[in-house]
Amino acid sequence: MNKAPANVQGRVSGVGAHPVAASFAKVRALICEPNVMIRQGIRIGLNNLGVRELLEAHTFVNAHAAFAEERFDLVLLNAEIDGTDTAYLLRETRAGRLGHDPFIIGAMLLSTTEESKVHACVNSGADDLLLIPFAPEQITTRMGAFATRRKPFVVTHDYIGPDRRKQARPGANSAAGFAVPNPIQSKGMGASPERYDAQKQQIFAVLSLERIKRLAAGCEWECKALLESAREGRHTSEQVLRSAFSLETLVTELMERVVRDLRHGTESLESLLARGRDIKNRPSQASLSEFDALYAAARRISLTYTGG
């Protein structure tokens, strides 16, 4: 991984040159991009913002190491490096499982508009998506905007990141929006690292509690859907297997979070996990009474952590 200090400081058209340049003067940016020409364009765009410290990662291994070990405020990340989907890196960072700051400004770079690729990038919790090729001026303008504003975050059972909803879905249980720290704006205002870290920890604790509620509600939803399908005789082995895998993922993360964040025991969750795994191992043989018991257990857990 190479370090290349910036040596150009320019003006940002349409964004406000002097405030933006001041905001980015202390910003540490990470560029995860294997193509040298694209990296050069990104460097020029960030140089024009006044960024003085740039880190580079050319391979997936180096990118993962940078996320895990380095401290930075802004990352521009190609959606695929060495044939590997990199959205995982930002998604794990948002969840607090990777890196030092779940609130870094993150932009994903795509070379295709393929729906599955775009969907993966959006679900990573990216603040922005940029389609390759792009001009350095696009980097300057798009990244410069984060000096003054940032979307609130939403938390669901499978997403933590900027609120990209145009409007709430009819009948949906709308997720609340949370104002989150903006590392670029914080540095532009001259806030001390200690103050930013305190704010970061406070807001992350709030989001973690919301995630616990959403995970618990997700467990109940999965089990209720299974029970209703079984009662109506329309469930299939494939559906049961898919829901059991989803339930296992939800319960596993919920267990980790209630131990870490709430210091709670996990006996009821371990029981639910065991029931779900038993059904997963024989999806075509599970009885209605087993689905009923699974839902009852998930409902009790949901009441415990959501209050209703």
Q: Where in the chain is the domain with CATH 3.40.50.2300?
A: 17-191
More confident residue, 295 or 20: 295
Q: Is residue 17 scored above 60 in pLDDT? A: no
Please list the residue range(s) of the chain that carry CATH number 1.20.120.
205-306
Write the CATH number of the domain with boundaries 17-191. 3.40.50.2300
Q: Please tell me the predicted confidence (pLDDT) of residue 67.
A: 97
**pLDDT tens digits, 216-251:** 999 999 999 999 999 998 889 999 999 999 999 999
Give me the pLDDT at residue 22, please.
Answer: 64
Q: How far apart are CA 177 and CA 13, in angstroms?
A: 30
pTM of this structure: 0.85
Burial of 171 (0-12, 13-18, 19+ CB in 10 A): exposed
Buried b (16+ CB within 10 A) or exposed e, 112-134: eeeeebbebbbbbbbbbbbeeee
Average pLDDT of the chain is: 89
pLDDT at 57: 96
Whether 170 has a pLDDT exceeding 80, the answer reads: no
Residue 235 pLDDT? 85
Averaged over 11-36, what is the pLDDT? 71
Q: Whole-angstrom Cα distance, residue 261 to residue 145? A: 34
Distance CA 235, CA 158 (A): 24
pLDDT at 5 over 60: no
Confidence class of residue 166 from pLDDT cuts 50, 70 and 90? low
User: Does position 140 have pLDDT exceeding 60, yes or no?
Assistant: yes
Over residues 123-130, mean pLDDT: 96
Q: Domain 205-306 belongs to what topology? A: Four Helix Bundle (Hemerythrin (Met), subunit A) (1.20.120)
The answer, yes or no, to whether residue 307 has pLDDT greater than 90, is: no
